[in-house]
Amino acid sequence: MTTPGSPPNWVAIGRDLTARADTARESWRTPAHRRAAAPAEVFAAARKSDADNALFLADIVTQHGWPGRSRIGEDGCRAAVAIAIHADQDRQLQSRLLAALREAAQQGEATSAQWAHVQDRVLVTSGQPQLYGTQYVYRPDGPGGLLELLPVAEPDALDRRRAQLGLPVHSEQDRLLRRQHLASLSTSPVVRLVERPAA
């Protein structure tokens, strides 16, 4: 990365964030029934990787602000958002990342839709209803399992809120998410699923 006080090497930072997210993505996308069957040390290693990635991103944000699109490109910014979404182990840190991402979105350095995904994740992990309908849970109830949207505040206004941030109507995204995820899932413990953040 960079040493305190020195100019950041944004190309290297972007590459590092992208590599970290690419490595973690295998764990993020592994169906819960496969994760449950993995040795405990594999799960622990994945959790440690998420925590390390979140600390790495937080260090960048503390020193230089959110690593936005003009600094590290679209892929790098998407990687940073994915890391922030999976920073659940430290809610305070995740909230700091959310605040930095919001400022970046206001400046055009990230999208409002990307901010919405992290906002929903922060709300859900703190036990509150989400605003934009990006967070789901998979439950092994019934034939083939059940993909369930986690609670949403004022659901009648959901599509209006989504439209304000450039997200598609929820029913369209819901169909896409079910098609992508349910085919690969079978009886398993509860697992949280999310929409893929918009570019």
Side chain identity at residue 14, one-letter code: G
Tokens, residue 80: 């940073």
pLDDT of residue 32: 56
| Identity of the residue numbered 63 | Q
Pick the range with the lowest mean pLDDT from 19-23, 136-140, 151-155, 167-171.
Answer: 136-140
Selection from 176, 12, 24 nearest residue 88 by Cα: 24
The span from the first CA to the last CA of the chain, in angstroms, equals 25
Confidence bin at 156 (pLDDT 50/70/90): very high
One-letter amino acid of 171 = S
pLDDT surpassing 60 at residue 192: no
In this predicted model, what pLDDT tens digit does every residue of 131-147 receive, in sequence order?
Answer: 999 998 876 665 455 77
The span from the CA of 67 to the CA of 101, in Å, is: 9
Query: Rounded to 5 degrees, what angle do the CA atoms 88, 83, 153 make?
Result: 55
Return mean pLDDT, the chain. 86
What pLDDT is stored for residue 186 in this prediction?
45
C-alpha 16/C-alpha 1 separation (Å) is: 8
d(CA 90, CA 54): 9
Alpha-carbon distance of 111 to 93, in angstroms, equals: 20
Give this prediction's pTM. 0.82
| DSSP 8-state class, residue 117 | H
- CB 88, CB 94: distance < 8 Å: yes
What local confidence, expressed as pLDDT, does residue 33 receive?
Answer: 55
